[in-house]
Structure 1
Amino acid sequence: MGNTKVSRRFRAMSELVQDKNYNYTEAIELLRRSSSAKFVETAEAHIVLGLDPKYADQQLRSTVILPKGTGKLAKVAVITKGEKITEALSAGADLVGAEDVIEQILQGNIDFDKLIATPDIMPLIAKLGRVLGPRGLMPSPKAGTVTIDVGQAVQEFKLGKLEYRLDKTGIVHIPFGKVNFSKEDLAANLLAIKESIERNRPTGSKGKYWKTMHICSTMGPSISIDINSLKDI
């Protein structure tokens, strides 16, 4: 019965979406209208790029700060030592330490959304790769999670900094807020993502870089965006 209700609701919402490319502002408005779940759904962007991640010079991995936030207060852990512990705590980190935090992670207690480490501690956390790697939580310089400036990193991830990467099929999947955000706030976040992906275009990129972009809510239908409407901003 539950699945039938979901299917009917999804079909009803899908009927709102035409088979065409929408201006990004129209697409965002449609995304908000086509959300019908009983929880506040996440707004998601799925972007197909003209890249082949098999080649090192066509891989894409970077970060973006969403100016209007993610709609979720991220839990941030920091592995460091010395005076950096105080810096991380002052910036609002939820969990800070060194060997004690490493042991906690090895035991499977991973109650955080982002893990930051200082460079001097990296040799100690190499053994966490098998635990954190599959979850996408292993600290990395490219992701901005291996840094001396732990205070700034904590604040940025708390405010809405996200890591994104090209998956093996050439697609970037990234949330850009919640469906209860205003149209203006969702647009600001989506434009920030577009600008970041453009700015970090790999050196090996050839031909058409932007192929398609679709947005949707967690349980809603996919809406195709006219990429030129974003490029004209």
Structure 2
Amino acid sequence: MKHGKKYRESIKKIDREKLYLFDEAAALVKEVAFAKFDETVEISVKLVLKKSQSVRDTVVLPNQFSAQKRVLVFAKGEKVQEALDAGATYVGDDDLIEKIRGGWMDFDVAVATPDMMKDVGRLGPILGRRGLMPNPKTQTVTFDLKGALEELTKGRVEFRSDKTNVIHLPIGKVSMDPAKVSENARAVVKEIVRKKPADAKADFLVSVALSSTMGPGVHVNVKDLTASV
């Protein structure tokens, strides 16, 4: 792959043979970023998994970096007011379902009470491919709407291993203090290690790298990470 001049210059600052300590990597990602916009910092975690295995969960990042999420809640009855009081942007039942079926998607995350899932399930082809389908595994199907919305507004994010057994997740912005980016990344790794399948291999965690949207990856010493979590 051919890269531009700025990318080639930034990669010269990285020792490709070195595994950096976590705080070093976060600082270096900030140093080598070259885009004119505030790039997102991402973590990539490579795992060893069997074909039948996957790793999926949520984590509340210690340091929030994204804009306020627009939360849609599928609910009815007394749960409607609970969702509104908790800060939901949109609340409804059949009206929202029909609106989404018509093409409206002006929200960032969807939450549903369990009694709504039979109807919300009709939106599977629409919400599923966008990663927006409420799911008990990610605590987005619950009667505890207040608790769910509190965590979402605090910075709760979902992670999931893809078909290549890699987890990609945004954890900050280049403009942030590298120490805060490092803290967010450590929280993610801690949760991934905690969700290790019982029969996974000892070398479950293969590699970890940090990068900005446009910049090169900086590899982290996995042993340093596992020792810290």
TM over 0.5: yes
For residues 168-207 of structure 1, the aligned pairs below 5 Å read 168-207=163-202
* Residue identity in the other structure for 2:55: L
Q: Name the SS for the 2:210 alignment partner.
A: strand
Q: Percent identity?
A: 39
Tell me how far 1:188 sits from its aligned partner.
1.3
* Residue identity in the other structure for 2:32: S
Please give the alpha-carbon distance, in whole angstroms, between the structure 1 residues aligned to 2:48 and 2:113.
34
Tell me how far 1:207 sits from its aligned partner.
3.0
1:32 aligns with 2:27: no
Please give the alpha-carbon distance, in whole angstroms, between the structure 2 residues aligned to 1:163 and 1:190.
13
What residue in structure 2 maps to residue 18 of structure 1?
Answer: 15
Tell me how far 1:17 sits from its aligned partner.
1.2
Q: Deviations over 1:1-36 (max 9, x none)?
A: xxx9x8111111111111121111110000111112
Tell me how far 1:84 sits from its aligned partner.
1.1
1:100 aligns with 2:100: no
Tell me how far 1:74 sits from its aligned partner.
1.5
**Alignment equivalent of 2:107, drawn from 104, 108, 112:** 112
1:45 aligns with 2:40: no
Q: Deviations over 1:193-222 (max 9, x none)?
A: 011111111123123111001110011111
Please give the alpha-carbon distance, in whole angstroms, between the structure 1 residues aligned to 2:160 and 2:101.
26
What is the aligned-residue RMSD (CA, Å)? 1.4
Structure 1 residue runs of 4 or more that deviate by more than 3 Å after TM superposition: none
Q: Judge which range, 180-189 or 215-224, deviates more.
A: 180-189
Please give the alpha-carbon distance, in whole angstroms, between the structure 2 residues aligned to 1:178 and 1:118.
33
Please give the alpha-carbon distance, in whole angstroms, between the structure 2 residues aligned to 1:160 and 1:105.
25
Which structure 1 residue ranges, 5 or more long, are not aligned?
Answer: none
Tell me how far 1:232 sits from its aligned partner.
2.4
Contact 2:26 2:179 survives alignment (8 Å): no
What residue in structure 2 maps to residue 229 of structure 1?
Answer: 224
Q: Name the SS for the 1:142 alignment partner.
A: helix
For residues 114-193 of structure 1, the aligned pairs below 5 Å read 114-193=109-188
TM-score by length of 2: 0.95
